[in-house]
Amino acid sequence: MTEQERDRVRIICDKISQRIEEKHIGCFHGSDAPLFFISTEYPGLWLEHVYDAVFYAKLSGEVLPERLAIAKNTIQFFIDNQTAEGQYPCFYRDPARAVNWQGEWMGYSHIQECVSFPALCLEVCQMAEDSRLTERVYESAKKWDGWLRKYRMTRGLGLVEQFVGYDTGHDWSGRIQGFSCPGRYEKDGEPMNAAVLPQDDVVPVIAVDMNANFYGTQKALAALARLCGKEQEAQEWEQRAAEVKQKLFEICYDKEDAFFYDVDKHGKKRKYLSSTIFHLFQEKVLDPEADSELIREIYTRHIKNPEEFWTEYPFPSMAVCDPSCKGHMPGNCWGYYSQALIALRCTRWMDDYGFGEDFDHICRKWLEAWTRCFDDMKLGQELDPFTGEPSQCSEWYSSCMLFYLYAAQRLNGVGRAVWEHQSGSD
């Protein structure tokens, strides 16, 4: 990277930081608790994006009190709005920002957790070192676990089930083909609660990513129990985590393909090569030692395969060889594009599994793409996995801005050689 290019990255980082402070940190009307908002297109908080606030708290390499407060406020918002039975809202649209919105402001029509919420709460508790917050989080997370077990295990298999497309946040993905509700479940134009099962020939589906997240929740509950001095309960949560992992392997793993697939109501594997595979790493379902051979096989056969996920601009939300990618939607499409959310979540696993050099490459490619097109499209939701061109979707997208800042910081930290490394040698 030339000094001129380096200067341009610095300028963009400054603009991102200014944009976050001026537009993305704010309070809801009547509240003095600052929160981290997503974008103009998504004006409010989404359960799927809680990691943005948690990641922002530690982005600088140290935990800054004012940023930690934002992360605490964010998790407490969802806990405050948890139902008596334990369900978290999937989103809240801020009326002051969503001026043309005609739907409900607080959503309970689907799950869209995407990263284990209790695991993120655990990270905040560990950063805050606040015993009262830890106890509150633990009780809240137990209620969430109870809601999932009561309403999302209708088949009695010990794994949670997907009812509607929006449960996973994978809009327009091939993995929701055949769903009667590819979005959320509605009757007479009104959203149904996420506890209600639609009737079709596909759902309930055992979804790989949702159960990887569920595993992460069991592990987080074990850690929270220990922080609360409840070792016996911690051991019980550890056992439940082991049971979830065992059932994931029994039901979703295809040994011949070395891949984990969603499974429909008839027990049939839905063989879409989806980015759901990353959740097994993200939530640490796969153990670096006990599962080392499987990890290498999945990584080399699928993730590092240029015909599947290792495209010019990794990682696409569906392996590009999957037939379902054909005729993909032009934006907000989890059936083709490389998503900023996927890139940001790589911070949760790639270094931990020893794939740091590959992660450097991903950071470099995303940094290059958004630096090149910044004048035309300001850090949107997704990139074309082959060309690096952005879709026209959700400019100034929080996850993309955070990943750009992280990539610039990471590559500056590992030396000039990484910046100047040519992508053709990867």
Q: Tens digit of pLDDT for each residue in 220-234? A: 999 999 999 999 999
**Over pLDDT 70: what percentage of the chain?**
96
- Across 392-411, average pLDDT: 96
Nearest Cα neighbor of 320 from 299, 300, 335, 341 is 335
Q: Which residue has the higher pLDDT, 259 or 189?
A: 259
Q: For position 101, what pLDDT does the model report?
A: 77
Q: For position 201, what pLDDT does the model report?
A: 96
What DSSP string describes 202-219? S-SEE-HHHHHHHHHHHH
Chain centroid, CA 386 distance in Å: 22
Give the pLDDT confidence of 301-348 residue by residue, as tens digits: 999 999 999 999 999 999 999 999 999 999 999 999 999 999 999 999
Give the pLDDT confidence of 39-90 residue by residue, as tens digits: 988 989 999 999 999 999 999 888 899 999 999 999 999 999 999 999 999 9
- pTM tops 0.85, yes or no: yes
H/E stretch holding 26? strand 25-26
Tell me the pLDDT band of 214, cut-offs 50, 70 and 90. Answer: very high
How crowded is the C-beta side of 5, counted as CA atoms within 13 Å?
15
User: In the structure encoding, which two tokens stand for residue 349, read together?
Assistant: 């696993």
Q: What is the domain-level CATH number for residue 88?
A: 1.50.10.10
134: number of Cβ within 10 Å: 21
Which residue carries 């929740």 as its tokens?
Answer: 217
Using a 10 angstrom Cβ sphere, with 0-12 exposed, 13-18 middle and 19 or more buried, the burial of residue 19 is middle
Tell me the pLDDT band of 425, cut-offs 50, 70 and 90. Answer: very low
Nearest Cα neighbor of 56 from 7, 111, 120 is 120
The C-alpha atoms of residue 391 and residue 88 are separated, in whole angstroms, by 31
Classified as helix, coil or strand, 68 is helix
Q: Is the pLDDT of residue 397 over 70?
A: yes
- Across 365-373, average pLDDT: 96
Q: For position 240, what pLDDT does the model report?
A: 98
User: In the structure encoding, which two tokens stand for residue 308, read together?
Assistant: 């599947």
Q: For position 416, what pLDDT does the model report?
A: 37
Q: Is the pLDDT of residue 209 over 90?
A: yes
Q: Is the pLDDT of residue 424 over 50?
A: no
Give the pLDDT confidence of 261-284 residue by residue, as tens digits: 999 999 999 999 999 999 999 999
User: In the structure encoding, which two tokens stand for residue 40, read together?
Assistant: 């103009």
Give rounded-to-5 percent helix, strand, coil for the chain. 50, 10, 45
- Count of domains observed in the chain: 1
Q: Is the pLDDT of residue 420 over 50?
A: no
Q: For position 99, what pLDDT does the model report?
A: 77
Instruction: Tell me the chain's radius of gyration from C-alpha atoms.
Output: 21
Residue span of the structural domain in which 56 resides: 3-425
User: Is 383:397 a contact under the CB 8 Å cutoff?
Assistant: no
Q: Is the pLDDT of residue 413 over 90?
A: no
User: Is 81:106 a contact under the CB 8 Å cutoff?
Assistant: yes
Which residue carries 């091939």 as its tokens?
Answer: 174
Classified as helix, coil or strand, 279 is helix
Tell me the pLDDT band of 419, cut-offs 50, 70 and 90. Answer: very low
The C-alpha atoms of residue 112 and residue 49 are separated, in whole angstroms, by 9
Q: What mean pLDDT value characterizes the chain?
A: 94
Q: For position 3, what pLDDT does the model report?
A: 80
Give the pLDDT confidence of 83-115 residue by residue, as tens digits: 999 999 999 998 888 877 777 889 999 999 999
- Across 16-37, average pLDDT: 94
